[in-house]
Homo-oligomer: A and B are copies of this chain.
Amino acid sequence: MTKPCIICVAITGSVPTKADNPAVPTAIDEQVESTHAAFEAGATIAHCHVRNEDQTPSSDPERFARLMEGLKRHCPGMIIQLSTGGRSGAGRARGGMLPLRPDMASLSVGSNNFPSRVYENPPDLVDWLAAEMLAHDVKPEIEAFDLSHIVQATRMAADGRLRAPLYVQFVMGVKNAMPLDREIFDFYIRTLNRLAPDAEWCGAGIGAGQILMNEWSIAAGGHTRT
């Protein structure tokens, strides 16, 4: 029996604007229609960011609520995952939408460098976001930008800060963090399997590495992000 592959679609990141690509959906109705098309094409999870009117990233719970409402109507049964990423807000504002009880939310459990800054996820904020997800029954997708993030997630599951089984996303291709590297990708899988045998994982390649990461992930029995 073959295991189904979960395809997660990230319609709108936090950075690109219509100046970069006019097709980027930034208004909520555009995001809903774009996700609907991906849902029809077979995507199972929608990874969601919201934007302000000027296209800058936002964590506004009211915007997230409107997006969730549209997705539930147009994509019934699709898993809705909201981003708690650091580009969209500061501190606990990043988790202000968790009481909306989306199916999933992204969770970074460590810090690392990004192309031009530090992606800061201080330990007390990580613990608070994890506790909010437990309280509101939100399944985290662990965003692993480095090896220690995988290890840290397994420790948080072991001590009850996260609920097992884990769902971990390996993120590769980020400048100043982890590049796409096949031996490291394989070691990520081995390490997760060793420390959390019941975990599921998916691979996300940033920029030019996206298609290659999709191929590696599907061939290795993981899930993937487009």
* CA–CA, A148 and B114, complex, Å: 12
Q: Is the CB of A111 within 8 A of B122?
A: no
Q: Smallest CB-CB separation from A145: which chain B residue? A: B148
* CA–CA, A114 and B151, complex, Å: 14
* CA–CA, A183 and B176, complex, Å: 24
Q: For residue A178, which residues in chain B have a CB less than 8 angstroms away from its CB?
A: 147-148, 151
Determine which of B113, B155, B187 lies in contact with A111 in the assembled complex, contact meaning CB atoms within 8 Å: B113
Minimum CB–CB distance from A131 to chain B (whole Å) comes to 16
Check: A141 CB closer than 8 A to any chain B CB.
no
* CA–CA, A126 and B118, complex, Å: 11
Contact with B along A108-132 (1 / 0, CB 8 A): 0011111111111111101000000
Q: For residue A118, which residues in chain B have a CB less than 8 angstroms away from its CB?
A: 111, 118, 120-122
Q: For residue A190, which residues in chain B have a CB less than 8 angstroms away from its CB?
A: 183
* CA–CA, A147 and B146, complex, Å: 7
Binding site for B on A (CB under 8 A): 110-124, 126, 145-148, 151-152, 155, 176-179, 181, 183-184, 187, 190-191, 194
26 A/B residue pairs, CB under 8 Å, sorted by A = A110-B113, A110-B176, A110-B177, A111-B112, A111-B118, A111-B119, A111-B120, A112-B112, A112-B146, A113-B121, A113-B123, A113-B126, A114-B123, A116-B124, A117-B123, A118-B120, A145-B148, A146-B146, A146-B148, A147-B148, A147-B184, A148-B177, A148-B178, A151-B184, A183-B190, A183-B194
